[in-house]
Amino acid sequence: MIAFILRRLGGAVLLVFIISAVTFLIFFGLPKLAGTTTDDMAARFAGKSPTPEALAAIKERFGFDQPLAVQYGNFVKAAVTGDTYDTGVEKIDCPAPCLGYSFRTNQSVTDQLVDRFPITLSLVVGAAVIWLLVGVSIGVLSALRRGSLFDRAAMMIALAGVSLPIYFTGLLSLAFVVHQWGLLPPVSYSSFADNPFKWASALILPWITLAFLYAAMYARLTRAGMLETMSEDYIRTARAKGLPERTVITKHALRASLTPLLTVFGLDIGLLFGGAVLTERTFSLKGLGSLALDGVVGSDLPVVLGTVVTASLFVVVANLIVDLLYGVVDPRVRHS
């Protein structure tokens, strides 16, 4: 078991390295290919129109004239051991894990990520609870009553659910539920620790909006998975043994069909933790997704790089956890 965990852990670390390297390559190598000069690069890093001296300092500082591998090495080194930035006025310490320093907002990228993450976390966790509960139960019910009116209606709604852009549903519900009917307070984020009730009531709408999309998807996945399992031989055997239908469904069918869902769920959560860009944008929530988008719009490259690397980190970690859980659930995985 320990060997298995170590192996997976090693793989995950390697994956993070590769992903950050590829990200780095795309942000630094691709523009070069496209004819961007090192001056332009430095300007993007400065995040504003800099003086020639500032440009020279940034070029020097980040070694834009050096080979990409060296630049990437510097980036990793800063992430591992920390770094110091010179703003020309004072030296700013950026302790490990230092993912860069934004010269536009004058803050370390890590600080901004730490500051924004609770918002994304609150959004995603709340939504995930809803979509798991709703999506899976509808999927199971649909599978059990296959072909019924309920099944057909639910699946049609689910298909519509995955076909609607989230910002469309989000903005419409915002217009109606909050502004038109005043059923909910305006969407905002306040700390859970300060006032859990306020935290929840101001986030209900984004939760439901995000959950609607995923619940639709999970309902379809669950239904498909259930139908497949129900036609397996061992379910027939279980039934033939005379086990009560309830036991057959909960103990055998459900478990078997939900395990693959675990993988999907892990990845979804991982991806969303990195920033639910559209939902955050729609509801003006200042999470990681908004941070990344602001970084792009304001050509603040350090922030963009930092958020993308962090987001992929979440995916890798989520993958790792799913893998490990599988190892616990299914011994065969451990030895494969």
Partner 1 sequence: MKSRPRILAASSAGVVLLGLGLTACGGGGDEKTADGAGFEAAVGKVVNPSDKKGGTLRMAISSDIESTDPGDMYYAWSTNYVRLYSRMLLTYASKPGDEGRKPSPDLAEGLGVPSADKKTWTYKLRRGMKYEDGTEIKAKDIKYAVARTFDRAVLRHGPSYFSNVLDAKGYKGPYKDKNLDNFKGVETPDDYTVVFKLKDPFTEFNELVNFSGQTAPVPQDKDKGERYGLHPISSGPYKWEKDYQPGKGGTLVPNSNWDQSTDTNRKQLPARIETIAGLNAEELDNQLLKGQIHVDLAGSGVQDNARKSILTDPKLKAQADNPPGGFHWYNPIDMKVVPNLECRKAMVWAADRDAMWRAYGGDVGGEIATSIMPPDVEGREKGTDYYTKAEKGYKGNVEEAKKSLAACGKPQGFETTMIYREDRPKEKGVAIALQQSLARVNIKLNLKGFPANTYTSDQAGSPSFMQKNNVGIGTFGWLSDWPTGYGYLWALSDKAAILPSGNVNIAQIDDPQINEAWKKSYTTVDAAERAKLYNMIDDRLRSQAAYMPNVYAKSLLFRPSTLNNVFFHKGFGMYNYSTLGVTQ
Partner 2 sequence: MTAPIEVTGSETQAQPDAVLEGIEGKAIQGRSLGQIAWLRLKRDKVALAGGIIVILLILMAIFAPLVVKLLGHPPNEFHQDLIDPTLGGPTSSLGGMNGDFLLGLEPGNGRDLFSRIVYGARVSLLVGFMATLVAVVIGTVLGVVAGYFGGWVDWVIARLMDIFLAFPLLMFSIAVVGVLPDKWLGLEGNGLRMAILIFIIGFFSWPYIGRIVRGQTISLREREFVDAARSMGARSPYILFREILPNLVAPILVYSTLLIPTNILFEAALSFLGVGISPPTPAWGSMLTDAIRTYQIAPYFVVIPGMAIFITVMAFNLFGDGLRDALDPRSNR
DSSP letter for 233, please.
H
| Closest alpha carbon to 67 in 19, 27, 41, 28 | 28
Nearer of residues 152 and 179 to partner 1, judged by Cβ: 179
Select the residue interacting with partner 2 from 1, 129, 160, 183 (CB under 8 A). Answer: 160
Give the number of residues in contact with partner 1, rule: CB under 8 A.
Answer: 34
Q: Which is nearer to partner 2, 100 or 275 (CB)?
A: 275
Measured distance CA(96)–CA(134) in Å, rounded: 41
Q: Say if residues 259 and 329 touch (Cβ distance below 8 Å).
A: yes
Percent helix, strand, coil in the chain, to 5, is: 75, 5, 20
- CB count, 10 Å around CB of 311? 23
Strand partners, 91: 86
List the one residue out of 141, 133, 287 whose CA is nearest residue 215: 133
If one counts every other C-beta atom within 10 angstroms of the C-beta of residue 161, the result is 19
Find the binding residues for partner 2 in span 92-151 (CB under 8 A). Answer: 147
Choose the one of partner 1, partner 2, none that binds residue 325, judging by a C-beta under 5 to 8 angstroms depending on kind: none
Candidate residues 57, 125, 184, 267; the one interacting with partner 2 per rule CB under 8 A: 267
CA distance 139 to 145: 10
Cross-strand pairs, 85: 92
**Residue 336 found at the interface with partner 2 (CB under 8 A):** no
In the numeric block, which tokens belong to residue 294?
Answer: 């602001």
At closest approach, how far in Å is the CB of 93 from partner 1?
13
CB-CB contact of 261 with 140 (8 Å): no
| Token code pair at residue 146 | 């296959």
Residues binding partner 2: what is the number (CB under 8 A)? Answer: 69
Q: In the range 43-62, which residues lie near partner 1 by CB under 8 A?
A: 48-51, 53-54
Q: What is the residue whose two structure tokens read 């070069």?
A: 32
136, HSE (Cβ side, Cα atoms, 13 Å) = 17
Using the rule CB under 8 A, is 29 a contact of partner 2? no
To which residue do tokens 């440009």 refer? 55
Neighbouring C-alpha atoms within 13 Å toward the C-beta of 126: 23
One of 55, 119, 202, 210 touching partner 2 (CB under 8 A): 210
Q: Is 323 in the site for partner 2 (CB under 8 A)?
A: no
78 vs 202, beta carbon nearer partner 1: 202
Query: Does residue 106 interact with partner 1 by CB under 8 A?
Result: yes
> Residue 240 Cβ, how far from partner 2 at the closest point, in Å?
20
Least distance to partner 1 from the beta carbon of 92, Å?
A: 8
Within 224-283, the residues that bind partner 1 by CB under 8 A are 281
141-200: which residues touch partner 1 (CB under 8 A)?
172, 174-176, 178-180, 182, 186-187
**Footprint of partner 2 (CB under 8 A):** 15, 18-19, 22-23, 26-27, 30-31, 34-36, 44, 147, 159-160, 162-168, 171-172, 175, 210, 213-214, 216-217, 220-221, 224-225, 228, 231, 260, 263-264, 267-268, 270-272, 274-279, 281, 289, 292-293, 295-297, 299, 301, 304, 307-308, 311-312, 314-316, 319
Please report, as ranges, the residues that interact with partner 1 according to CB under 8 A: 48-51, 53-54, 87-90, 92, 104-107, 115, 172, 174-176, 178-180, 182, 186-187, 281, 284, 286, 290-291, 294, 297-298
